[in-house]
Structure 1
Amino acid sequence: MTVFWNNAVMGGWLKKPTSAAIAAWDSQVLAINKVQRLPERVETNFYRMHKGRPCFPPELAFPNKTGELAHSEFNG
């Protein structure tokens, strides 16, 4: 996950992520239990569902509170 963190979240090698930041990222990934891909395949959403509803625990959030984060781009 460190490579993803470096390229997508940090925008390149600005600085090496701390072990706490890597642990927070890993916790977010482990919490995902629903993946939704739109029919046109233009967007993918990752959710943590609890009792049938999206749940976004604040302890899993990144401190910058960005609304959306582009995690990858595919051309082809």
Structure 2
Amino acid sequence: MTTLDPDKSVELDLANDGVPAKGAQGETLTAERLDEINSFERPNAVPPRLIRAPLKDEKLHFTLPARSVTVVQVPK
């Protein structure tokens, strides 16, 4: 998932649709600047950060930071 707004985070609820899961987790890549990159000089400029989405009312709730790309897995 990606956020289109470079300045604001996004709250997102995804319907579970009967998949047996207690939540989801994954990794988010984000940085202070939109054009930030990892390099040999700064290998952790854009570090992966753990993200968790609890299951509530049959929906997975995510808070995605601004300027981010997120990958999640829903374990069975």
Please state which band the TM-score falls in when normalised by the shorter chain: under 0.3
So what's the TM-score if we normalise by structure 1? 0.23
Question: Which is helix-richer, 1 or 2?
Answer: 1
* Structure richer in strand, relative to its length: 2
Alignment TM-score, normalising by the size of structure 2: 0.23
Q: Greater relative contact order: 1 or 2 (C-alpha under 8 angstroms, separation 6 or more)?
A: 2
